[in-house]
Structure 1
Amino acid sequence: MTTTALSPTARRRRVGAGWIALISALVLIGLFGTTLVYGGWTQRNALDPESPAPDGTRALVRILEQQGVRVVVARDRTAAERELAATPSTLVMRDAPMLSDATLRSLSAKARDVVLIEPRSRSLDVLLNGSSLGGVVEERTVDPGCEAAAPRTAGPARIGELYLPGSGVTGCYPAEDGFGVLVSGSGDLTAAAVDGLSVVTNRALPLEGNAALAVGLLGHSASLVWYVPSPSDADTGAAAPTIGDLTPPWVTPALVLLLLAGLTAAFWRGRRFGPLVAERLPVTVRATETTEGRARLYAASGDAAHALDELRRATRRRLVRLLGMSARTPAEHLADAVADRLAADRAVVRGILIDDLPRTDRELVAASDRLRDLETSVRATLPTERTPR
């Protein structure tokens, strides 16, 4: 038996690849932990007025501009307030959790109309007189079911998120216990809430009467300010929570523990137990040592059946040569040939060569003796037997 060793260059490459993989894993863990603790993730394309993605709203902006509406995208509160003060405009915004109630009221007071897309309960409560969220249903097409101008003109439209109207607020597009659109006020001063993902996105706008509904709600004025809230707009003491703030307290200690475990594993696997010892290869192993080692393994495993199979294979090879048969002769055919030559019971010969299963060492020794006796009997039937020198 021979063994081979890696060359020094191959060994260094393997060790280097292992270190690179370990360091990369630790860097990824560190980046993930830093993101959780100090930052957050945002879906930039969702309901963004300049995004062409399926959940963006650039298509609606283009339609409004074709209708003669001047659309200004304000990505901070200062710009939104400056535009609203310059020209009477419709204010469009999604939920802004970083703004206080007073700031929401002050901002909406500067606008001619207010349209909330994808609002949360606090925005509904503050700007639509106590309205709130009413659950979610599978997207479906619903008739307006109200006399508000924009829904009545648009006709059937898609809804998904539902709202519960507050005092003096009209609910349109009813489904189950809520409404898909809320409208408050009349004439030139109105406030509305609509499920943005089901109605105004690039994906949803072509469906049913969504485009007509969106244009009717957002196109009241000649000027429209689309306010995209920014974390920098947060009022003092009302900063938007990061993912780290919303993550359970056990996550950070778990990440630190995982990082320490990785460093410990790197130190453990990177240690050397003395200098490398050069050894000439291949190494020759004596056949007696191999045989003795296998015998010890068989004895330790207690697998008598496997040990007997090895003895049977060796006996069958010798019997095939003695009888002048092909090396590929099946064991069953060999057993029949041996039984014919010895005029013995076929079942008994098959049991010795194939079928008998020993369960103990004593039965294994007995089976080995029967194999030896069978081979000796076959040799005795041959005319002559040459003894190898």
Structure 2
Amino acid sequence: MTLAPAATSTPSWPATPARSRRRGVAGWIVIAIVVLLVGGVGAALAALSQWAQRDALDPESAGPNGTRALVEVLREHGVEVEVTRDRDSAQQALLSGDATLVLPDTPALSDGAVENLAAGAEDVVLIDPRSRTLRLLLPGARAAGYGSGELAEPGCDLADAQRAGAVLPGAVFTTTGDAVACYPSGDGSGLLVADDGARRVSAVDGRTLFVNESLAENGNAALAINLLGRHPHLVWYMPGPGDTDLTSNDPSLGELTPPWVSPVIVLLLFAAVAAGVWRGRRFGPLVPERLPVTVRVSETTEGRARLYARSRDAVHAADQLRLSALVRLARLLGLGPAASATEIADAAADRLGWDRRAVRGILIEELPANDAQLVALRDRLSHLEEAVRQAVRPERNAR
């Protein structure tokens, strides 16, 4: 004999056409809202990425990668700091007299523009040296990777480095020219300084040493002041993406394709949208007539039990019996709906004083292999429930 929990069956009526249309409209509204949300999140992430890129080495940024702290320290030491964000303004600022030019990476400028800009300064400090700027302004110098990650002493006779003391270099450089190399670390040096009498050029990894989050460490602040504060006027050039003198003659994708391609692509997009709307329409219920059929609960239960018996799925039938028993036991023991099967079994064993392994075997672990074992398990479940009921409500059972 195979048992199954009782089930309730009610008549099922198809949705009306009006309800189907409302569901279709609601579905399209939900899809539109999801598309807008995804687009908004993507735009926000792109804006955050652009802001993080702008924040790096920005003298007006108080973020961890900005350099506002260094600018304020220089101003406290009497240095006039002028921040420029285009090449023309930087060149005009350098005409005022002896000045130091702080030059980060400038990929949007040509070689000639970089050399003309640097020519107007007495000192040029490369705070984000790349291969091109090293080649243009420090002949013989090249990037040599990163330092060893250990504190480095000046290791040179340069007064600016000697007064600053030890630092922890990031990117390091090597040179075959006349530049002075300081702070040896790894395969290179953390600072290169070349002075030909007319102009002095320095190369140092400002992203590691001069940003807000690391300026107060070791001798970073002293080194920055010594390199950038040699003249009373400092021009800090922060290039923008639109500040470029480069012109591109490469043809665009539209110029490379035939003139009929773009209209065809637009037509295909409209066709795809129209096909999606057509396929997504709801034309009402598939079966418009009602089904006046009511199935009794006993028939549903017996039919499910016969299916279990025919499939010889004793384990599944046992699971259904155990689930019902666990729900009733949890209610008798005062456990919440979130209690697990193990917690219910342990609580029942503690209440009865039985062995926990035996109770867990009845409620969880034992797997019946045939109908006879399933019936035996049902009897043991009934006995366990009755014992718990007697232990929890003895006075009611005595009546």
TM-score normalised over the length of structure 2:
0.63
Aligned mate of 2:105, from 90, 95, 103: 95
Report the equivalent of 1:352: none
Give the stretch that moved more between structures: 196-205 or 283-292: 283-292
Counterparts of 1:67 and 1:167, CA distance in 2:
33
Aligned mate of 1:79, from 89, 98, 113: 89
Deviations 1:177-215 (A, max 9, x none): 111111111556210011112211111111111111001
| 1:216 and 2:233 correspond | no
| 1:225 and 2:235 correspond | yes
Q: Which amino acid aligns with 2:35?
A: L
Counterparts of 2:66 and 2:367, CA distance in 1:
76
Counterparts of 1:92 and 1:5, CA distance in 2:
77
Counterparts of 1:92 and 1:221, CA distance in 2:
12
Q: Which amino acid aligns with 1:71?
A: V
Counterparts of 1:159 and 1:311, CA distance in 2:
70
Report the equivalent of 1:63: 73
> What secondary structure sits across from 2:145 in the alignment?
strand
Report the equivalent of 2:183: 173
Counterparts of 2:226 and 2:35, CA distance in 1:
53
Shift in Å at residue 291 of structure 1? 2.8
Report the equivalent of 2:32: 23
Deviations 1:225-283 (A, max 9, x none): 000011112222369xxxxxxxxxxxxxxxxxxx99x9799759943242598999998
Report the equivalent of 2:247: 237
Counterparts of 1:164 and 1:214, CA distance in 2:
20
Report the equivalent of 1:346: none
Report the equivalent of 1:155: 165
Counterparts of 1:175 and 1:131, CA distance in 2:
16
Counterparts of 2:162 and 2:218, CA distance in 1:
14
Counterparts of 1:6 and 1:70, CA distance in 2:
80
Q: Which amino acid aligns with 2:88?
A: T
| 1:304 and 2:314 correspond | yes
Counterparts of 1:300 and 1:128, CA distance in 2:
88
Counterparts of 1:312 and 1:214, CA distance in 2:
75
- The question of whether the paired residues in 2 share the 8 Å contact of 1:140 and 1:160 is answered with no
Pick the structure with greater CA Rg: 1
Structure 2 alignment gaps of length 5 or more: 1-7, 250-268, 324-347, 349-365, 379-399
- The question of whether the paired residues in 1 share the 8 Å contact of 2:182 and 2:189 is answered with yes
> What secondary structure sits across from 1:233 in the alignment?
coil
Counterparts of 2:113 and 2:322, CA distance in 1:
92
Residues 79, 356 of structure 1: CA spacing in aligned structure 2 closer, same or farther, 3 A cutoff? Answer: closer
Report the equivalent of 1:194: 204
Q: Which amino acid aligns with 1:46?
A: A
Counterparts of 2:244 and 2:321, CA distance in 1:
84
Counterparts of 1:311 and 1:203, CA distance in 2:
64
Residues 97, 295 of structure 1: CA spacing in aligned structure 2 closer, same or farther, 3 A cutoff? Answer: same
- The question of whether the paired residues in 2 share the 8 Å contact of 1:68 and 1:222 is answered with yes
- Point out which structure has higher relative CO (alpha carbons under 8 A, 6+ apart): 2
> What secondary structure sits across from 1:146 in the alignment?
coil
Residues 112, 294 of structure 1: CA spacing in aligned structure 2 closer, same or farther, 3 A cutoff? Answer: same
> What secondary structure sits across from 2:95 in the alignment?
helix
Shift in Å at residue 131 of structure 1? 1.6
Counterparts of 2:317 and 2:231, CA distance in 1:
94
Report the equivalent of 1:334: none
Residues 186, 366 of structure 1: CA spacing in aligned structure 2 closer, same or farther, 3 A cutoff? Answer: closer
Counterparts of 1:219 and 1:54, CA distance in 2:
22
Report the equivalent of 1:293: 303
Counterparts of 2:207 and 2:322, CA distance in 1:
75
Deviations 1:15-59 (A, max 9, x none): 77754553244346557889999xx83522211101111211111
Counterparts of 1:306 and 1:125, CA distance in 2:
77
Q: Which amino acid aligns with 1:150?
A: D
- The question of whether the paired residues in 1 share the 8 Å contact of 2:148 and 2:186 is answered with no
Structure 1 alignment gaps of length 5 or more: 240-258, 314-329, 331-354, 372-389
Report the equivalent of 1:124: 134
- The question of whether the paired residues in 2 share the 8 Å contact of 1:128 and 1:166 is answered with no
Percent identity for Structure 1 against Structure 2: 46
TM-score normalised over the length of structure 1:
0.64
Aligned mate of 1:41, from 50, 62, 70: 50
